[in-house]
Structure 1
Amino acid sequence: MKYLASFVVAFLVTASVFAQGSYQLGSKVADFSLKDGQGKAVSLSNFADSKTVVLVFTDNKCPYAKLYENRLVTLSSTYASRGVQFIFINPGVGVGEGSDTMEDLVTKNYSFPYLADEGQRISQKFGATKTPEVFVLHNMGGEFVLKYKGAIDDSPQVESGVRNNYLKTVIDDVLANKNISTADKRATGCMIKRY
């Protein structure tokens, strides 16, 4: 019992230290730059003209990410003309056996960037723990502010079973300059392995 209590305390301290280093809701997000599958650097500042940027931490090998892929591509197409930019970020490129490679990013033919988070600096900075997990950034006078983090909707397995489309609602609220009713919903997906 004594060992269990020690373990729990150590775990909570570690989780607290990890959480302190990540962005919180309402935080200004610093510019960052990651490479795409062709090795081209793409920065958050490249999208300074966008009203909103949706970062999606995802992984080609995660079954949940595969289930959400078409939904996210559809949302990206739906909102592109309204100033919303989607960016996929893969935190698992080149880390461990069976992980995605830069070439895996190239095979995805999206109309938005798909970037590699080599070294997992950006996923750690945002506090991303699952794939897929979304972070909605609102452009406020040239600075991006974190408005939402978490789940895409409430039905990972079956799209027709969605009752609450969290991401779509947040995007609509942000574009209309409304208060976000739900700012943080725990994502369902594959755990991001830290290396």
Structure 2
Amino acid sequence: MKKTALLSTFALLLTVVLISARYASTGYKVGDTVQDFKLKNVDGKTVSLADKQDAKGYIIAFTCNTCPVAKSYEGRIIALNEQFAPKGYPVVAIQANDADRSPGDSYNAMQQRAKTKSYAFPYLYDESQTVARAFGATNTPHMFVVKREGNQYKVAYIGAIDNNQYDPAAADKKYVESAVNELIAGKPVTTSSARAVGCGIKWKDA
């Protein structure tokens, strides 16, 4: 009985990994130009990267309401916006989980989460999951730092926020923070990628 349960669990995990890998293989890589998108914010308005003409770049966070890892990192995403929005790198959070598979990530639930946590940044609903697929996002959270070059945005960092999902104070490698600080200083990003950790995005049934 235990063997059967273990095999079933392994099969499920393997399926999640394969689905995630399918989308990640076609996603953006460091140095790629990001295609702009238009998604509905929790305030009902449509948001795109082109909206902020003074932005030097963006910290894009694929996250959600329900994943324990995303919840653990929520305060750090809020802190990143507080630290870097005044310096030209605001946060844009995107929720791409299929609400049929994860009702706690519905648009109404997103609105409530943003209100309860006093988000000072857009929290966008990628209902069609088109943007998540374009980026190659697989996890919540999955971070992308993009820098502005003319009228385009290019990927400078992909991956985790830092190297400790449980305790912010214990993280000694703050990947996103370091990447943005280097970009602001006009330096190349030393660590341009790190494996994203968190729950797999809940994709729509094919």
Which residue is 1:41 aligned to? 46
Q: Is the 8 A contact 2:24 2:138 kept in 1?
A: no
Matched residues in 2 for 1:156 and 1:61: separation? 15
Q: Secondary structure at the match of 2:180?
A: helix
Matched residues in 1 for 2:19 and 2:168: separation? 36
- Cα distance 1:97–1:156, how it changes in 2: closer, same or farther (>3 A)? closer
Unaligned runs of 5+ in 1: 1-11
- Cα distance 1:16–1:188, how it changes in 2: closer, same or farther (>3 A)? closer
Matched residues in 2 for 1:15 and 1:63: separation? 18
Alpha-carbon distance, 1:38 to partner? 3.4
Say yes or no: does 1:59 pair with 2:68.
no
Count of residues paired in the alignment: 185
Q: Is the 8 A contact 1:92 1:99 kept in 2?
A: no
Say yes or no: does 1:173 pair with 2:175.
no
Which residue is 1:100 aligned to? 105
Which residue is 2:143 aligned to? 134
Which residue is 1:4 aligned to? none
Root-mean-square deviation (Å)? 2.1
| Identical counterparts, % of pairs | 34
Say yes or no: does 1:116 pair with 2:125.
yes
- Cα distance 1:165–1:138, how it changes in 2: closer, same or farther (>3 A)? same
Q: So what's the TM-score if we normalise by structure 1?
A: 0.88
- Cα distance 1:194–1:164, how it changes in 2: closer, same or farther (>3 A)? same
Matched residues in 2 for 1:44 and 1:95: separation? 28
Following TM superposition, the consecutive aligned residue runs of length 4 or more in structure 1 with deviations greater than 2 angstroms are 12-21
Which residue is 2:167 aligned to? 158
Matched residues in 2 for 1:13 and 1:172: separation? 34
Matched residues in 1 for 2:20 and 2:82: separation? 36
- Cα distance 1:48–1:191, how it changes in 2: closer, same or farther (>3 A)? same
Structure 1, 118-127 or 16-25: larger mean CA deviation: 16-25
Say yes or no: does 1:192 pair with 2:182.
no
- Cα distance 1:90–1:153, how it changes in 2: closer, same or farther (>3 A)? same
- Cα distance 1:21–1:78, how it changes in 2: closer, same or farther (>3 A)? same
Which residue is 2:10 aligned to? none
- 1:22 maps to amino acid: G
Which residue is 1:28 aligned to? 33
Q: So what's the TM-score if we normalise by structure 2?
A: 0.83
Alpha-carbon distance, 1:51 to partner? 0.6
Per-residue Cα deviation, 1:147-180 (whole angstroms, up to 9, x for no partner): 1110000000111211111110000011112111
Which residue is 1:6 aligned to? none
Unaligned runs of 5+ in 2: 1-16
- Cα distance 1:14–1:102, how it changes in 2: closer, same or farther (>3 A)? closer
Structure 1, 15-24 or 179-188: larger mean CA deviation: 15-24
- 1:79 maps to amino acid: F
Q: Is the 8 A contact 2:20 2:200 kept in 1?
A: no
- Cα distance 1:188–1:114, how it changes in 2: closer, same or farther (>3 A)? same
Alpha-carbon distance, 1:49 to partner? 1.8
